Amino acid sequence: MELCDLTIHELREKLETNEVTAEEVLDSFLRRIEAVEEKVRAYVTITADEARERVSGELKGSLAGIPLAVKDNISTEGIRTTSSSKMLENYIPPYNATVVEKLDEAGAVILGKTNMDEFAMGGTTGFSAFHETRNPWNLEHVPGGSSGGSAAAVAAGEAAAALGSDTGGSIRQPAAFCGLVGLKPTYGTVSRYGLLAYAGSLDQIGPITRDIEDAALLLNVISGHDSRDSSSVRQEQTDYTAFLQEDLSGMRIALPKEYYELDYNPEVKESVLAAVKKMEAEGAIVEEVSLPSIEYSVAIYYILATGEASSSLARYDGVRYGYRSKEAANVTEMFKNTRSEAFGEEVKRRILFGTHVLSAGSYEEYYVKAQKIRTLLIKEFEEIFKNYDLIVTPTTPETAFKAGSITAPLESYKMDAFTVPVNLAGIPAITLPCGFSSANLPIGIQLMGPRFGEGKIIQAAYSLEKLLQLENKRPELEVR
Amino acid sequence: MLEKKDIERLADMASMKISASEADKFAGQLNEILQYVEKIKEVDTEGVMPTLYPVSLENVFREDKVEPSLAREKVLANAPEEKDGQFRVPRIMGE
Amino acid sequence: MSREYETIIGLEVHAQLATETKIFCNCSTEFGAEPNQHTCPVCLGLPGTLPVLNKKVVDYAIMAGLALNCTINGYNKFDRKNYFYPDLPKAYQISQNDFPICEDGYIEIDTEEGTKRIGITRIHMEEDAGKLVHEGSIDQATASLVDYNRTGIPLIEIVSAPDIRTPAEARAYLTQLKQILEYLGVSDCNMEEGSLRCDANVSIRPVGQKEFGTKTELKNMNSFRAVERALEYEVERQKKVLAEGGEIIQETRTWDDSLNKTISMRGKEEAADYRYFPDPDLPPLVVDREWVERINASLPELPREKRERFVREYALPEYDAGVLTDTRELADYFEACVAEYSDAKAVSNWIMGDFLRLLKEENLEIAEVKMTPAHLAGMLKLMDEGVISSKIAKTVFEEMFKTGKEPEQIVEEKGLKQISDAGELEEIVLKVIEANPSVVEDIKSGKDKAIGFLVGQVMKETRGKANPGMVNQIIREKIESL
């Protein structure tokens, strides 16, 4: 394995002992990018010059010299931040997101901004206005979305780790599709200041990494109260790496029957259940439970997320930044032409649906109703976590599918069924690879925990990771 | 169920322009989604409070202390059109 | 057939709160800056930014609510009001919809029929939008320019109940509201600067009918006088429409100050659907009793209370009390004087007269006046001591006002001491008597009033410094002895 195939903690050790220099590490990643990016196309913007400049100076911190990628919906000062949309193709933010500031402070080196579904709406990265990203495990297949670029970059060795964002599964699903670890923290744990909003009550930024230890390291850096984010929670300083213990004894695991009774890819189900069996063998107690409101989670997710999004995306009107249509006799026409020309179809579809559910006459019936069902779902999760430490499910019902194979909107929305309940409940969840399909595509297992229960899920995931020993598997990319 | 004219009204509210064929297509797709989400009506939510915030915070404040604003060049740096330190837009109708 | 109509008016007032910073960010709210000098990623609504609530805005809103006799709501939230306009950076305004900070209050206004209560339905907090300037002529604007300095400045929207029955009452309501907010110090209430804005809803209904008529909304009134005139015009217009058998259309009309009429803003007929929903970026605001009580305890004395107290405590006429309590600054100035010179009526006369006159002439704020309350008190004492006459006092006053010098210093420097020496005065009186024999004859033959002329002559001789009482006395004595 080359330097660019190593984990953060492995690279740190080599850097700290001066076995390698930060320049050598960076070079390895830049060479890999040059070799595979043409096929993978994980990035929107590569900041090679800035990265070289950065490693030429002294870097201090827990991520000193570690090259990372950042999803392109996270604001980076002086570096264009496009959300993979024509609307922001040339938008250069004058400020850094809080998480970017934290990465900087920790000495990390940013390699570039990664591709995504436009404005985080999608599950394939195919809705990017610029280009498609492909799955390093099989270039005919999607990397997942909306953080597909981040996942593909890490899987391909084009970054040691990456930041993604998760509103309905956008970190976990691509991480699962690309055989990686993806963590969506408890809502309020990581500052949203600087994250281009999709749905404020659901969005969270989180790490996509090669193993659990890296995820814990990154979470340490990016988490923490931020006075610029009113939804940011004050917590005691937690060292998430303290939970990197191999110990499953006595862990009470709940398997919601609603996830397992459904009809989907049997290889996924088998692989996940086999992993659960391994955990049981190590002392975990596994029981079946019921989460009846799961049935409605996709429905309420789409109502709430699109409702919020229709409002959050209204600011893109061509006045202050971003795309502006050249044709316009007056400002109203300018708004309409700008938004019609610069938004992709999926974004328009969700904005229209969101506008509908918020409009007078529909608001009570859809939006408020969905908020009430959300309450029921939250209560159901709380009840379960009174008696169990974790809920374990497959991360997705499918492995990475072929690019272009899913065209109907509703069909793709239903694919989010396994991940959206987590965002609705505001709880943390982690995905890690638990196996491979017969087509050699990664299968992800999802561990959900109670609010602020990152410690539990990290410990369980770490233990499972050591049992499965899949973290060093890398896709065989034709490296020129 | 939504008709073409409903989609056109929604597009108008969302400041988007869509063609007649797009309106048709979106109507079909949105109706499919609406049909799917109809099932939420079968859930008994009598006496259930809506969740507005997924985290139990309240009273998050800041102090009334002036801090430097963003330098004007930076404010205008991304402006598609500017004049005299202001953002320039096409005329507003009906004033 | 001419029917009797009753006018129903409701007013929506937006007042900018005088906090140092904006409602959701730390940009300065100072008026008059160059365009876009007081903006930041948050108030510009740049992608990824989030609002954080300024606590002082809540304090001020609670103060206003208490002063306006409202209930302060314990549970508050912020909602997004969604619409597109170039001066609105996020294409939504953060406002309060169903859980506003204050409800169910009232203001008392003075009408010809006595004191009347106008209900206040609600008060809520929201952010202001930016400012638009049009390029080209008003009819043929080619483009618009946007300045976002004003975006994010905190506002309270005060909605009255439809209890106002005449345009004059509307004006009284606004005057009283402005005075109260100024007293509290929560707003500059300056319509010219835009820190106070007013929209009106007006309808008419036949006397005796219970249902309200169709109302129209009036906008673009830039002074209290404009509000009054716009309402007068609109009421007449509506009466005319109905008299001709027509119907009132529910619409927004703009007041044209130069044409003196309200003009329909056709195109805004369809009520906008603002799609209000709770802003997920701002957690709820919980105002507990303790907070309300703390604010309540810190409320200053309000205009009406102060007026009534002035009448009681200082035995002043209603009229004086009214003038002196017009602003808190003036009332404070008055009381500071009375603290040093107890004849309140005397102080009141000077303040209502020369003080206010000079304030206006010099175009000053009270805070800028160089003359202190102690100086005025000092001058009044000099009058009591006979050092200066009331006529000379006017000169001293004006000098004090303009220079801030102490009264004694001015009297000294300008040699204004009253002449009360009988000998000195006798000499001058004799001179004047000699010079005006015909007048003396008039006096002797009974025309008592002519004495005034001689007194005047003596005053002229002494350049106003003669003690007028003594002069009068001496003239009489001398003439009698002739």
CA distances from A352 to A322, A406, C89, C148, C437 (A): 21, 21, 20, 29, 102
Indicate yes or no: CB of C44 within 8 angstroms of CB of A320: yes
**C-alpha–C-alpha distance, residues C274 and A311, integer Å:** 10
State the DSSP code for A136. Answer: T
- Ordered DSSP codes for A171-217: THHHHHHTT-EEEEPPTTSB--TTB--S-TTT-EEEEEESSHHHHHH
Q: Which amino acid is at C31?
A: F
SS3 category, A146: coil
At A307, list the tokens.
């409702």
SS3 category, C438: helix
Using a CB–CB cutoff of 8 Å, tell me whether A79 touches chain C. Answer: no
SS3 category, A19: coil
At the top level of CATH, which class does the domain C422-480 belong to?
Answer: mainly alpha
Contacts of C110 (CB under 8 A, 6+ apart): C116, C172
pLDDT of residue C1: 47
Indicate yes or no: CB of C284 within 8 angstroms of CB of B72: no
Rounded average pLDDT over A419-448: 98
| CATH fold of B1-43 | Histone, subunit A (1.10.20)
Domain carrying residue A49: 3-254+384-468
Strands A285-289 and A252-256: parallel
Indicate yes or no: CB of B54 within 8 angstroms of CB of A369: no
Mean pLDDT over all residues of chain A? Answer: 96
User: How far apart are the two ends of chain A, measured CA to CA in Å?
Assistant: 15
pLDDT band at A477 (very low <50, low <70, confident <90, very high): confident
Chain A: residue nearest B19 by CA? A340
Place of tokens 């090669």: A210
Chain B: residue nearest A80 by CA? B78
Please, are residues C83 and C272 in contact by the beta-carbon 8 Å criterion? yes
Rounded average pLDDT over A463-478: 91
- Name the residue facing C92 among A194, A311, A321 (closest C-beta): A311
Phi, psi values for residue A101, rounded to 5°: -55, -40
Q: For residue C82, which residues of chain A lie inside 8 Å, CB to CB?
A: 310-311, 314, 358
pLDDT of residue C2: 58
Chain B: residue nearest A414 by CA? B36
Q: For residue B49, which residues of chain C lie inside 8 Å, CB to CB?
A: none
Q: For residue A378, which residues of chain B lie inside 8 Å, CB to CB?
A: 51, 54
Phi/psi-derived region of residue A286, left when phi > 0, alpha when psi is between -120 and 50, beta in every other case = beta
CA distances from C480 to A155, C441, C444, C466 (A): 123, 11, 8, 21
pLDDT of residue A263: 87
pLDDT digits (tens, 9 = 90+) for A21-67: 999 999 999 999 999 999 999 999 999 999 999 999 999 999 999 99
pLDDT digits (tens, 9 = 90+) for B26-64: 999 999 999 999 999 999 999 999 999 988 899 999 999
- Ordered DSSP codes for C100-144: -SEEEEEEEEEETTEEEEEEEEEEEEEE---EEEEES-STT--EE
**C-alpha–C-alpha distance, residues A371 and A383, integer Å:** 19
CA distance B29 to chain A (A): 7
Using a CB–CB cutoff of 8 Å, tell me whether A199 touches chain C. Answer: yes
Stated pTM of the model:
0.93
pLDDT of residue C266: 65
pLDDT digits (tens, 9 = 90+) for A342-394: 999 999 999 999 999 999 999 999 999 999 999 999 999 999 999 999 999 99
**C-alpha–C-alpha distance, residues C292 and C143, integer Å:** 47
CATH of the domain at A100: 3.90.1300.10
Chain C: residue nearest B72 by CA? C37
Answer with the residue of higher pLDDT: B78 or C391. B78
Place of tokens 């900041």: A47
CA distances from C291 to C107, C300, C441 (A): 23, 16, 80
Using a CB–CB cutoff of 8 Å, tell me whether A413 touches chain B. Answer: yes
Answer yes or no: is A262 within a domain: no
**C-alpha–C-alpha distance, residues C103 and C122, integer Å:** 4
Using a CB–CB cutoff of 8 Å, tell me whether C275 touches chain A. Answer: yes
Q: Residues of A numbered 354-383 whose beta carbons fall under 8 angstroms of chain B's beta carbons: which are they?
A: 355-356, 359, 365-366, 368-376, 378
In the residue annotation, A146 being an active-site residue is answered as: yes
CA distance A21 to chain B (A): 36
CA distance B44 to chain C (A): 22
SS3 category, A4: helix
Answer yes or no: is A350 within a domain: no
Q: For residue B17, which residues of chain A lie inside 8 Å, CB to CB?
A: 336-337, 339-340
Q: Which of A28, A128, A165, A170 is catalytic?
A: A170
- Give percent of chain A above pLDDT 90: 94
**C-alpha–C-alpha distance, residues B66 and C37, integer Å:** 13
Using a CB–CB cutoff of 8 Å, tell me whether C277 touches chain A. Answer: yes
Answer yes or no: is A291 within a domain: no
In the residue annotation, A71 being an active-site residue is answered as: yes
Answer yes or no: is A45 within a domain: yes
**C-alpha–C-alpha distance, residues A392 and A399, integer Å:** 17
In the residue annotation, A227 being an active-site residue is answered as: no
- Name the residue facing C26 among B13, B53, B66 (closest C-beta): B66
Q: Digits of tens for pLDDT over chain C (482 positions)?
A: 457 899 999 999 999 999 999 999 999 999 999 999 999 999 999 999 999 999 999 999 999 999 999 999 999 999 999 999 999 999 999 999 999 999 999 999 999 889 999 999 999 999 999 999 988 876 678 899 999 999 999 999 999 999 999 999 999 999 999 999 999 999 999 998 899 999 999 999 999 999 999 999 999 999 999 999 999 999 999 999 999 999 999 899 999 999 999 998 865 556 789 999 999 999 999 999 999 999 999 999 999 999 999 999 999 999 999 999 999 999 999 999 999 999 999 999 999 999 999 999 999 999 999 999 999 999 999 999 888 888 889 999 999 999 999 999 999 888 888 888 888 889 998 888 889 888 888 888 888 888 888 888 998 888 888 888 889 888 888 888 87
Chain CA centroid to CA A403, Å: 19
- Name the residue facing B53 among C41, C134, C280 (closest C-beta): C280
Overall domain count for chain A: 1
Strands A204-209 and A442-448: unpaired
Rounded average pLDDT over B6-19: 96
A&B contacts, CB < 8 Å:
162
Place of tokens 């004049």: B83
Indicate yes or no: CB of B91 within 8 angstroms of CB of A330: yes
- Name the residue facing C84 among A201, A335, A359 (closest C-beta): A335
